[in-house]
Amino acid sequence: MSQVILFDLDGTLTESGEGITKSVQYALEKLGVSAPELESLKVFVGPPLLEQFMKYAGFDKETAEKAVEYYRERYSDKGMFENTVYPGVEEALKELKMRGYRLAVASAKPTYYVTQIMDHFNLTRYFEVIAGTDLHGPKVTKSQVIEEALERMNLSDHRDQVIMVGDREHDVLGARKCGIECVAVSYGYGSREELEKAQPIQIVASAEELLNFFD
């Protein structure tokens, strides 16, 4: 029986696509690349940025690192606050806490941004641990962040008590790599097809459905 829930941030707790896609567009333009429409840049929401720039923009590692730098120029200034909390999320967090669940955030976004966003939306109070990636390595993958959260909560040897909640395949696969199950939310940035292929324990369509899963 799960007693601990690890939450992804982008696409799970907050609808952060506008700030992320506009910052990706800005980075591509700075590198002289014709930036596509914002909608098609939603593949950048959630997974680690460096690998997304290499995968979707076809950049080598050095160019992708430069793209991440440019991305952060705009994101630090404006992008992180072009963002809203999904309907019902705060109520669900409050209820889960009341039911006695231990909650943590495990995000592939750098901790530097995660803590500011959580504070901005007054969500920090619901979480025991907030774990993100490093701005400049070496902790850059979802599984590394999950491992950090488990360690900080003294749960490395109690993985059967933990469940991950996220909206992209890298949430499901990262959790699986760490030996924990994942519930996927379909209201975020991963397509139904992407999520089904990753085979989470359950797919839910709203914060209310998520709450029912943990009933």
Among residues 8, 10, 167, 171, the one annotated as catalytic is: 8
The single-letter DSSP state of residue 89 is H
Residue type (1 letter), 33: V
Structure tokens, 40: 């098609």
**Which has the closest alpha carbon to 67: 25, 37, 109?**
25
160 annotated active-site: no
Burial of 100 (0-12, 13-18, 19+ CB in 10 A): exposed
- Indicate the pairing of strand 4-7 with strand 102-110: parallel
Cα dist. 22→27, 35, 61, 110, 123 in Å?
9, 10, 21, 18, 24
Q: Which residues are catalytic?
A: 8
